[in-house]
Amino acid sequence: MSHQDYRCPLHPWLGQGFDAETIKRQGWRDQGILVVNTHDPRLERLERQFLTRIAERLYGCRREVSHG
């Protein structure tokens, strides 16, 4: 399942769906919050590495990746 296929468990009560990219863009513009998928094809290899290093420094060691 990709992040685009995810449906919030509260979906039946929320009414309209939402666009994750719009929410991320608004979070950046309004509050300076950056949400980035390091596998985003718009990023170059060095950008991915840089973001990963920042995340590891702020939040700890490498994240667990499921291979199933």
Q: Which of 37, 15, 13, 11 is nearest to 24 (CA)?
A: 37
| Residues in the chain, total | 68
Of 55 and 67, the one with more pLDDT: 55
Could you tell me if 56 and 62 are in contact, meaning their C-beta atoms sit under 8 angstroms apart? yes
State the pLDDT confidence band at 67, using cuts at 50, 70 and 90: low
Domain residues of the chain, as ranges?
1-32, 36-68
Beta-carbon-side half-sphere exposure of residue 35 (alpha carbons within 13 Å): 12
Which segments of 1-68 does DSSP mark as H helices, in order? 11-14, 20-31, 45-59
Each residue of 33-65: pLDDT tens digit? 999 999 999 999 999 999 999 999 999 987 776
Tokens of 60: 């700890």
